[in-house]
Each structure stands twice: as C-alpha cells, then as structure tokens.
Amino acid sequence: MQARAQVSPNAIDVGNDSTPLVSTENLSVIFRGSRGSVTALQDINVSVGRGEFVSVIGPSGCGKSTLTRVFSGLLKPTHGTAYLKGAKIDRPRGDVGMVFQQANLLPWKTVLDNVLVPARALRQDISKAREAAMDLLRLVGLERFAHNYPSELSGGMQQRVGIARGLIHNPDLLLMDEPFSALDTMTRDHMSLELQRIWMARKTSAIFITHSISEAVFLSDRVLVMSARPGTIVEDIKIDLPRPRTLETMASPEFAEYCLVLRRLFEQLVHFN
Ligand SMILES: Nc1ncnc2c1ncn2[C@@H]1O[C@H](COP(=O)(O)OP(=O)(O)O)[C@@H](O)[C@H]1O
Ligand SMILES: [Mg+2]
C-alpha cells in the first residue's frame, strides 16, 4: 500500500523529548454486564508524538469512544496501560482537553463563561484565564460573541466554543470525539479548515475521532483504522500532504488516493467481519 510507507515531513514540531505524548501497552477494555461481557478494545498498542494530529476511524461500536475515555482518565482499562508523557493515566488530568459530539455548553452561561468552565474547575487564576479565553475566542473567530448566550449561536459556532473550552487550560493533548458529526456537510468542511488553523497555532497534540474518511485525511498526520468489535488497530497510515491544507488540497489527486485507500480498507472491515 503506497500510502503507508511514506514519512510525513509535515508533523508540527514534535520537540526533542523522545517519550511519546500518549502511548498504550496491550490495552484492553472489557465491559462486564448481567448479560455477559463485551470486549470493546483488545490489545491496543499505539503512540502519538508531541504535536501530532492523529485521527481514529472505524465502524460504529468498534471502541473509539472507549479509547478516548481511557485517554481522558475517565475509564480504567481492564488489561494493559495507557501513558501520557510516560506516566500511567489512572484518573482525569488537567493536561488533557476534551471536545465532544455535542458542544454541551451551559445555556445559562455566556460564551466566555462556558470557555472558562475548565479553568474554574482547575482553580486557575480567573483574571489570567479570562484573557486566555478572549485570545482563544479570537482564535476561533468568536471574539464578538463572548457575551452572547449559546442559544444565540449556530451549531458550528457552538462547536468552536467547545474547542476553545477544550484548550483553555493549555492541555498537551486535545481529545475530540466526533466533534463535527452533528453539523451539516458545508459547515463540516469549514470546521476542518478552522480546526487545522487552530491546531497549527497551538501545536497541541490531537486525537480526533471521526466517521468521515475525508475529514481524517484532511486533518491528520496519521490515520489509525480500527476493526469492528473487539476493536483493534489494523492500520496506521501516514498522510504525507503539505500544510496548511486548503480546499484545493481536497480536490487534489493525492488527497483522493488517500481517501480511496482508506475507503477500500473500510469496505473490507465492514463487509468481511
Ligand atoms: N459502559 C458500557 N457498558 C457496556 N458496554 C459498553 C459501555 N460503553 C461502551 N460499550 C460497548 O462497547 C463497544 C464500543 O463502544 P464505543 O466505544 O462507544 O464505540 P464507538 O465509539 O466506536 O462507536 C460497543 O459495543 C458498546 O456497546
Ligand atoms: Mg463513539
């Protein structure tokens, strides 16, 4: 597979520290219930470098959200270990930011106060955090809406507030679980461009779960492909396209080739399992 052997020269500064930002060792998650057990993840061995943007794609129910819950410290693996900067992840941590499928903004708080929620939870200096929140709102293009309420914003705008909130505490890792899947197609393409811009400005490592192959190719340094349950990582594909990627990138033959490689893989996973 041609796409696989290439090395991306485009990963943003991965730093001198050779410890991966995130790694796992034979990680498995088994849910035990009254009607038997479900192996959601099986023997996951993966690492994400500092500053890397890595997408995870796979069929519904293959364990993508479970993997993000382990990385966020909300769920303990049944076997194996997940590490952040070489330390075992065994509880929620302040150096991880999360963005979810629904923006989940608090309707009674302004946009600015929503962005400040993690800063308050982590007991940060609020006057400094307020400045940082305004910088982030400027970065996501919503500075003018700082004092509006979420109901006054479109779905795409709310999700950009969600991204600003995920970054307010300056996390080393931004975990995003299908953040654009509730948005319409036009807004999604726009959000991909926006997210790339924000990520290039912040240099945060990112793990991005998506159902969209083209979104994964557009945004990522690497795309991890998971099999249907029990979820394992079956491919790790480097995306060697120059950055910043643009709308023209989406129309290029190289982009189409990566999408085709992934689409074929996906077909095999869904239909031959
Ligand atoms: N808390 C839970 N208890 C029991 N089963 C669960 C739980 N969370 C997820 N699962 C099961 O684990 C599998 C993986 O789920 P999930 O990680 O949500 O998949 P994905 O995000 O890829 O769609 C699914 O079969 C799901 O039903
Ligand atoms: Mg999910």
pLDDT at 186: 83
- Quickly count: other Cβ atoms within 10 Å of residue 230's Cβ: 18
Q: 33 CB less than 6 Å from ligand 1? A: yes
Q: Residue 270: what pLDDT? A: 73
Q: Which of 37, 39, 65 to mutate to test the pocket of ligand 1 (most atoms within 8 A of CB)?
A: 65
What does the buried/exposed string (b/e) look like for 132-159 if buried means 16 or more CB atoms within 10 Å of the residue's CB?
bbeebbebbebeebbeebbeebeebbbb
Write the residue with the smallest CA distance to atom 4 of ligand 1. Answer: 31
The predicted structure's pLDDT at residue 273? 53
Residue 203 has what pLDDT?
A: 87
Q: Provide the CB-side half-sphere exposure for 87 (13 A, CA).
A: 7
Per-residue pLDDT 10s for the chain (273 aa) are 444 434 333 444 444 467 899 999 999 999 998 889 999 999 999 999 999 999 999 999 999 999 999 999 999 999 999 999 999 999 998 899 999 989 999 999 999 999 999 999 999 999 999 999 999 999 999 999 999 999 999 999 999 999 999 999 999 999 999 999 888 888 888 889 999 999 999 889 999 999 899 999 999 999 999 998 889 999 999 999 999 999 999 999 999 999 999 999 988 877 655
> What pLDDT is attached to residue 272?
56
Query: CB neighbours (10 Å) of residue 34?
Result: 4
Q: What is the length of the chain?
A: 273
Question: What domains are there in the chain, each with its CATH number?
Answer: 1-6+19-95+173-186+202-273 (3.40.50.300), 100-170 (no CATH)
